[in-house]
Structure 1
Amino acid sequence: MRIGIFFGGQSREREISFAGGRTVYDNLNKSIFDAVPIFIDSKGHFVLLDWQYIYKGTIRDFYPPVNFLPKSDLPVQIYAESLKNLSDEDWDKLIAEVGQKINPSDFKKHIDFAFLALHGPYGEDGNIQGILEWNGIPFSGAGILPSAIGISKIAQRQFLQQAGFEGPKSRILNQNDWNHQPHENIYQNLKKELGLPLVIKAPHQGSSIGVSILNEDDPNKFEKLVQKSFFELEITEDEWNGYSQEEKIGFIAKLVDIREGIGLPVIAEEGMLYTPDELLEFLNNTFTAKKQSIKLKAIDSENSLLIESFIEGKEFSCIVIQDENERPIALPPTEIRKGKDVFDYRSKYLPGISRKITPIDAPQDIIEKIRSQCAALFKALQIDVYARIDGFITKEGKVFLNDPNTTSGMLPSSFFFHQAAEIGLNPSQFLSYIIRTSLQARLKTGKHHFELQKMIKQLDAALEGLKKEAQKKINVGVIMGGFSTERHISVESGRNIYEKLSSSEKYLPIPIFLSGNEDQHELYVLPINIMLKDNADDIKDKIQNYEVHPIISQIKFESSEITEKYVGIENIVLKKISYHDLPDIIDVTFIALHGRPGEDGAVQAELEKLNIPYNGSDVESSKITINKYDTNEILKNAGISVADHRLVFENKWQSNKEAEIAAIEEQLSYPLIAKPADDGCSSAVKKIKNKAELEAFAGMMFRPQAEFIEDLANILKLKKNEEFPQKNFFLLEELIEKKDAKYFLEITGGLLTHFKEDGSIEYEIFEPSEALAGGEVLSLEEKFLAGEGQNITPARYTPQAENYKVVAEQVKATLKKTAEVLNITGYARIDAFVRVYEDLSVETIIIEVNSLPGMTPATCIFHQTAINGYKPYDFIDKILAFGTEKMKKQTITK
């Protein structure tokens, strides 16, 4: 069955939709479905997307294509709506670079079913549902009516009140009233009627975009928050002129961010500004002319806002599904524990910022009350298939439902998959359930009845056949977690590997969580519901306090017909194992660990004792590459450029700090880079600009307790939940700069190894990506998390396309030599800086080698493999095949 995945779109949630569409594309069961990516751009064009572009980190990394972008001096990417004066012919040419433009009337030529991963206006408001129904394409999820209600928070509130559901007091603030009445009067009236805190909501946005909470009695802050929800901003002459050039660029970048700012194009004094450069020039010119202030406004704003009284209580989110008899079943509601007032965009989609507790920490009768209310609302709104319903439970036991969503976020650890896992469905199985149940739901329209019944019959036969195939697959132990500062990224990588393999015809993945310490590794086989907890610490906590909540047992019983139909093999139960148990469980291992253990050879050594094949480099090579100092020394001796470097040891620092600082300052000048010498990438990597920051870094690294030393953390501007390890030594490196090069950029390059016929190693070096850091150094989020980083693949070494190959071949030659010198096998990622000179000669300075690179859905190694024709599954398959062959050769040699 050809499944058209509709993703992207015109809303402010398009990046989450893009990432969710990729999740669906990867997790659809390859035995029974053919995934067809249909990208909707921000102008509403339907694009049959070439699959390579699905694995870009963000939409702006590939669309609009580089040669259609206006010239810019700012490091700010734009969306397609910033292109102006393009004819229909121009749009056709632009789209042809990434795929094929199709019209709704052509859908039937390409797809049998539409899986909707769209969010917000045009996606979950009934628009796309109507287009698909008109053109005879069955689609996933709710129909037109509940979608139209579900998109509007104002319509939802009115419906909930009329249907007898409890809710907060609320008022509607119209744009016309805001523009023509004194803001102070509006504020005082709302404060009197609703009390403080006030919740201010843009009614047609999801992912908490345009939602703010006013806690204190502050009319000025109220005005700013209302402007934010109307997607307006007023900036004064004093504010603008008080910014440095760098701060002005930062202001522009935040302003045009569609998640937190206004976006582009922007209306200014009735004129339209399309690009960041035009906006910067306009503001500079406006305030040069001594204008006191200017108001900026989004072209797509809100006409009214919903203002609500604040609900004091626990926040939850509950997925409701239905069985084949259309009976709604509320899955276990998840409690959201936030780091701040609003469960905002970053809190929802970045692991570790908030916590998800499933089921909600409440008495069983309260949980049942939440479930029954959610199921009742699902039915009242006539929703089909599934919905995500958000709400609060107060201390008095009152349930307030406030946001029925007819499309849920579909990132790997979203509520959508997180709660389905509690009844035993992995993501691939849950997607199969959604498709089958959606086909059944479309029968109710009375349209295309015969065709739909035929599709359902064929799908049922295919699902039955899957159960027999599962017995013949290769068992892959996917080891994730660990105890390094990168343990959360490791879980993201491990889950991604698990999901790619679970939808394949060849492999059966078994998730294994590694915990403990360097002296004693602890291994646990994980059931799917624990694997999909929010982050590594949540998984560890669940293991240590393992119990099956009575409500979970009850929901499993209620949904047993669903799980019987879609689960091919009996669910795995939590089980503690040792390395010696692995040969009875798995055939091959995929180590998804980062830092120590994993990239240091410790796990590899245990697997080699048992002759179990694994991914990546062998023990000796891993021992070298985990240590950045040793790696630098070996590469320097081999004639490869590296940063000037030195180690700082705790004992020398503590015994004579001033002498150590003097020695450092004699060798290296500020600013310099400080980082852990023997751990993974990006954690605690800091740009050190002066002696005070150096002392703070050393103090934090050598601190005696796990808790942060507040004064030192403030000097380093550490975030509250940032990972910063304790070590007895660290590495200092010179800051690599442009110097006299013509072009200068940071890159990250992946590689894959193959065996030649004579048994020697062949290196396949991918086209590196150019990495753009939002701050002083690339963060973990920028490297690995969807929608966060700006990676351009292939890297832009020079503006002249004809010179690309000359430069690229020199860079790739250095990456290959690095891999050979370090005896890297399997696959790896090498980070470097590149200086390109006037004569096109190149200096590539290696800064880091990762023997087990991050394999999260958004990591740029997948952008690179796509250029060489590998889908992520193909790449993973190649890695496992090489590891298996390498172990065979080693066994024969022994």
Structure 2
Amino acid sequence: MKVGIIFGGPSREREISFAGGRTVYDNLDKALFEAVPVFADSFGNFILLDWQYIYKGTIRDFYPPVEALPESEHQLQIYLESLGELSIAEQDAIIARAGKRLLPHEFRNYFDFAFLALHGPYGEDGSIQGLLEWYHIPYSGSGILPSAIGIDKAVQKELLKQHGFPTPDYKTIPFADWSERSKRESIFESLVADLGLPLVLKAPHQGSSIGVSIVKEHDFAGFEQAVERSFFTKNIYKEQWLAMGEEKQLASMKQLVDIREGIGMPVTLTDGTVIYHPEALLNHINDTFATTDTNTITLTNVEREHMVLVETFIQGREFSCIVVQDETAKPLALPPTEIVKGNEVFDYRSKYLPGLSRKITPINLPSEDIQRIRENCSRLFTFLGFNVYARLDGFITEAGEIFLNDPNTTSGMLPSSFFFHQAAEIGLNPSQFLTYIIRTSLAERLKSGKDTVTLTKLLSELDKSIKEEQAHRHDKIRVGVIMGGYSSERHISVESGRNIYEKLSSSTEYEPLPIFLTGDAENMRLYSIPVNIMLKDNADDIKEKIQHFEHGGKPHPVLAQIIAEAEGITKKYTGRSLQEPQRLTPAQLKNLVDAVFIALHGRPGEDGALQKELEQLYIPYNGSGIRSSQITINKYETNEILAKHGVPVAKHRMAFKEDWLQDKEAFFNGIESEFPYPFIAKPADDGCSSAVKKIKSRTELEAFSSLIFREMEELDTECARTLSLGFKEEFPNKAGFLIETLISKNGARHFLEITGGLLTKYGPDRSVNYEIFEASEALAEGEVLSLEEKFLAGEGQNITPARYAADPERRQKISDKVKEDLKRVAQILQIEGYARIDAFVRIYDNDEVETIIIEVNSLPGMTPATCIFHQTAINGYKPYDFIDRILQYGIERTKMKVLE
């Protein structure tokens, strides 16, 4: 069956939709479906997208294409709407660079079924659903009417209130009333009198907590700001603006035009003038304040809300519950998840960035309360006429009162979202859950009485294919995917491991088995884990669950009941029941798998220790061998070896704890005499972005040394503040750290940071041949690239291929030279399988190129958003193809060793 995945769209959640569309594209079962990527741009054009663009980090990395971008002095990234009013011909020229324009009447020529990964207005409000019904295309999820109700928070509130569903008290602020400034204070006082404090303000037609604020104090100025945030309007004050300075003004502009947390573009001025491009807006603000007496500039997004919803604040525990339809079309509430937040608003970042909030499934309450939440959610699902699946959010108070809020007809589809997280609790992996959604959606569309012959045939063929696939499951290559570990990158390792698992589980060739590594350097422990534990929030949650079962714990009684209720679904789509975690010896691992994919970062995994164990048992694995791994894990040793071979590296030295303990003053003086500030300090033997800091002063050097050499597990808060450590940022404890000179432009005409991937294969004579990919240009928001920027969807800005020069011929010539340099590094270090090499590139006036190596990662991050997938796409490899080649190389290497 051809499945058109429709994603992107005009809403403020387009980046999450884009990442969700990629998840669906990758996870659709290849034995059952052919995935057809249909990208909707912000003008509502549908594009049959060239598949390689799916693996870009963000929409702005490829659309609009570079060729369509106007000059921007500050290199501000934009969406299509910032190009202004475009003619159809101009839009066609832009679309042609990303794929092929699809008109709705042509959909049937390309796909049989539409999987909707769209969010917000136009995507989950009935618009796209109505369009598809008009053109006789079956689609996923709810129909037109429930979708229209599901997007409108104000309508929902009224319906819930009228039909006896407890929901927070609310009022609305119409834009017309708010526009009369004289009314504003009385609006505030009236709301406080009616609803009390705190007040919760929402943009009623947005999903994902966009435009949500909590006003806790009796503070009119704070309230006014919150209302403007929900209306997507902003006042720029002259005095504040001029006090910022150019750098902060630019940062403020980036935040202002952010569609997730700012007001977005285009904007209207009070006189009705529309400004499309952020660069033009920046110039307008500066010109206005420089040449007129204006003290305030008011900006409003062209698609502002027409009202703001204001609710009373519910003091309680927040939960989210996915409700699905079972085989008999009855609602089945999956185990509700408690959201434990780092701040009071479960906003866009908290939802989609691992570590900023915790998901606890099921919510930690007595079984009776969990069942009451499930019953209420199922009842509301039925009452609103939702179909197939929905996400229902709410609160439970200390007194046990349940308030339901913001029912959604769709859910975020990132690998870590509630959608997959809760489905895993009944034993469905993401690929199986998507099959369930498609099959249930077809059955639901059939009830409309439209296109019954076509839909019956599609349904019958799908059921037959599902049965056939179950029968051939045991013919596949079994791959143990090892994730977790105990380094500060263990959470990223879990993201990588899950991604590998998901790519393999939807393939026709492989049967993956999730394996979690925990313990410490003296005692590594391996566990096979079921899918529901693999999809827990992070590595620490997985470890906690394993310990629960190791100490004789049983599945939660509510989970046991839900699993029993869902038995029909689970049996149909998986053919098996959920298992408990099992401790494995390496010998037992050999009996369970044909090969291993190591998805670990830092130690262990990248240091040769695990490779040694696997080689003794002749278990094929991915990546470099023992000796090469032992070298590349140690950044100091890597630098030393490369320098001896004449490869440019930063000037470097180790700083040791014993010297620091002996004489701190001499320790600091010694470093300062060799390395002028600023310089880079980082662990010598950990993952790529762990505790990498730009040290600008003695104070920062003292703080870095205190943290890395500390005796306690906890971080000193003053030192953490000095180094501006992020929320929940970890900092390893080491006996030494590496110091490097800060690599700078040094007279070059052009200077950039790059990251380049590679792949190896055997030649006819068993020699190792290297395929070096086009490197990505990495742009950091802060002083160094963060973990989030490297690996998380929508966070990092990676431009692939790197912009070495404007002229294509010169760019390619420089790129070829850089690739030669990276290949030489790989050969010196005897890298095998695949790797990522980070470097700085200096390009001088005569096009002389200098590639300065920063570090080499023998097991690079394999999260869905990592830029290695952007690079492989240029060479024609989809992520699965890349993973397949990595595994096949490891299998071939082991066969050769057995023959020896």
TM-score (norm 1): 0.99
* 8 Å contact kept, 2:82–2:278: no
Q: How does 1:334-413 map to 2 (within 5 A)?
A: 334-413=337-416
2:738 counterpart of 1:737? no
Q: State the match for 1:726 in structure 2.
A: 733
> What runs of 5+ residues in structure 1 fail to find an aligned partner?
none
Q: Distance in 1 between matches of 2:610 and 2:824?
A: 26
1:456 aligns with 2:463: no
Letter in 2 for 1:206: G
1:177 and 2:177 matched: yes
CA contact (8 A) 1:466 1:568 kept: no
2:808 alignment partner in structure 1: 801
2:764 aligned residue:
757
Change (3 A) 1:85 1:381: closer
Structure 2 residue corresponding to 1:604, chosen from 611, 617, 626: 611
Q: Deviations over 1:643-699 (max 9, x none)?
A: 111111011012122222222122111111111110001111111111111111111
Output the CA distance in 2 between the equivalents of 1:555 and 1:530: 16
Give the one of 270, 286, 294 matched to 1:291: 294
Partner SS state of residue 6, structure 1:
strand
Equivalent residue number for residue 72 of structure 1: 72
Deviations 1:499-547 (A, max 9, x none): 0000001100000000000000011100000000010011111111233
In the alignment, the residues of structure 2 paired with residue 83 and residue 788 of structure 1 have an alpha-carbon distance, to the nearest angstrom, of 23
Is this contact kept in 2: 1:806–1:840, CA < 8 A?
no
Query: SS of 2:666's equivalent?
Result: helix
Letter in 2 for 1:113: F
Shift of 1:570: 4.6
Partner Cα separation in structure 1 for residue 13 and residue 746 of structure 2: 40
State the distance in 1 between where 2:488 and 2:269 align: 45
Structure 2: state its 5+ residue gaps: none
1:323 corresponding residue in structure 2: 326
Give the residue type in structure 2 aligned to 1:34.
E
| Contact 1:676-1:684 at 8 Å conserved across structures | yes
Q: Provide the rounded CA distance (Å) in 1 between the counterparts of 2:278 and 2:679.
A: 31
The match for 1:6 is 6
CA distance in 1, matches of 2:51, 2:427: 30
| Alpha-carbon distance between aligned partners in 1 of 2:504 and 2:576, rounded to the nearest angstrom | 15
SS of residue paired to 1:182: helix
The answer to whether the aligner puts 1:841 opposite 2:843 as a matched pair is no
- Quick one: distance in 2 between partners of 1:226 and 1:26? 40
Residue in structure 1 matching 2:436, options 433, 438, 445 = 433
Counterpart CA distance in 2 for 1:885 and 1:343 is 48
How big is each residue's C-alpha offset from its partner over 1:21-49, in whole Å with a ceiling of 9 and x where there is no partner?
Answer: 00000100000100000000011100000
What is the deviation of 1:76? 2.4
1:776 aligns to 2:783 (yes or no): yes
- Counterpart of 1:678 in structure 2 is 685
Q: How many residues align?
A: 893
Q: Matches of residues 576-595 of structure 1 in structure 2 within 5 Å? A: 576-595=583-602
CA contact (8 A) 2:690 2:787 kept: yes
CA contact (8 A) 2:761 2:769 kept: yes
Matched, 1:636 2:616: no
User: Are 2:252 and 1:245 aligned?
Assistant: no
Q: Is the 8 A contact 1:478 1:590 kept in 2?
A: yes
Match of 2:268 in 1: 267
Higher mean alpha-carbon deviation, 667-676 vs 311-320, is at 667-676
Which residue is 2:99 aligned to?
A: 99
Give the CA deviation at 1:720.
3.3
Written as runs of structure 1 = structure 2, the 5 A alignment for 1:881-892 is 881-892=888-899
1:25 maps to 25
Tell me the distance in 2 between the aligned counterparts of 1:540 and 1:239: 48
Does structure 1 retain, via aligned residues, the 8 Å contact 2:138–2:442?
yes
Secondary structure class of the residue paired with 1:242 = helix
Contact 1:470 1:568 in 2 (8 A): no
Residue 218 of structure 1 and its aligned partner are, at CA, apart by 1.2
Question: Could you tell me how far apart the structure 2 residues matched to 1:382 and 1:182 are?
Answer: 39
Q: What is the rounded CA distance, in whole Å, between the counterparts of 1:470 and 1:796 in structure 2?
A: 45
Alpha-carbon offset, residue 789 of structure 1: 0.5
Contact map agreement 2:356 2:727 (CA 8 A) in 1: no
**Deviation, structure 1 residue 230:** 0.6
Are the equivalent residues in 1 in contact too, given 2:571–2:577 (CA < 8 A)?
Answer: no
Mapped partners of 2:175, 2:466: distance in 1: 52
| Corresponding residue number in structure 1 for 2:255 | 254
- 1:332 is matched with 335
Matching residue of 1:615: 622
Per the TM alignment, residue 297 of structure 1 is displaced from its structure 2 partner at its CA by 1.0
Please give the secondary structure, in 2, of the residue aligned with 1:172: strand
Among 814, 824, 827, the residue aligned to 1:820 = 827
Cα separation, 2, equivalents of 1:570 and 1:313: 35
2-structure distance, mates of 1:705, 1:75: 44
1:805 and 1:352 mapped to 2: Cα distance? 40
Partner of 2:229: 228
Is residue 763–residue 816 contact of structure 1 (8 Å, CA) maintained in 2?
yes
Matched residue, 2:187:
186
**1:124-168 CA-partner distances (Å, limit 9, x unpaired):** 000000000000000000000000000011011011111210011
Give distance in 1, aligned partners of 2:809 and 2:187.
61
Match of 1:276 among 275, 278, 286: 278
User: What is the alpha-carbon distance in structure 2 between the residues aligned to residue 111 and residue 831 of structure 1?
Assistant: 41
CA drift of 1:87 comes to 2.1
User: What amino acid sits opposite 2:191 in the alignment?
Assistant: L
Note the alpha carbon deviations across 1:309-355, whole angstroms, 9 max, x for none. Answer: 00011100000001122100000000100010001111111111111
1:569 is displaced (CA, Å) by 4.4
- Distance (whole Å) between structure 2 residues aligned to residue 669 and residue 569 of structure 1: 62
Q: Deviations over 1:235-276 (max 9, x none)?
A: 111110011211111001101110000111122242222212
Deviation at 1:85, TM superposition (A): 4.4
2:510 to 507, 510, 514: 507
SS of 1:302 mapped into structure 2: coil
Corresponding residue of 1:115 = 115
Give the TM-score normalised by the residue count of structure 2. 0.98
Cα contact 1:470–1:569 (8 A) shared by 2: no
Aligned residue for 1:447?
Answer: 450
Aligned to 2:141: 141
Distance 2:346 2:732 in 1: 28
User: Are 1:865 and 2:868 counterparts?
Assistant: no
Name the structure 2 match of 1:566.
573
Residue 306 (structure 1) aligns with: 309
Paired amino acid for 1:780: L
- Provide the rounded CA distance (Å) in 2 between the counterparts of 1:259 and 1:87: 27
Output the CA distance in 2 between the equivalents of 1:148 and 1:35.
27
Per mean C-alpha deviation after superposition, the further-off stretch among 280-289 and 368-377 is 280-289
2:215 is matched with which residue? 214
Deviation at 1:822, TM superposition (A): 0.4
Q: What does the per-residue CA deviation read over 1:553-572, in whole Å, with 9 as the maximum and x for residues that have no partner?
A: 11111111111111144544
Identity of aligned residues (%): 60
**Secondary structure of 2:514's aligned partner:** strand
Matches of residues 453-492 of structure 1 in structure 2 within 5 Å?
453-492=456-495
**Matching residue's letter, 2:444:** A
Provide the rounded CA distance (Å) in 2 between the counterparts of 1:133 and 1:888: 54
Larger mean CA deviation between 601-610 and 86-95 belongs to 86-95
Indicate the residue corresponding to 1:87 in structure 2. 87
Secondary structure of 1:445 counterpart: coil
Q: Would you say the 8 A contact 1:467–1:569 is kept in 2?
A: no
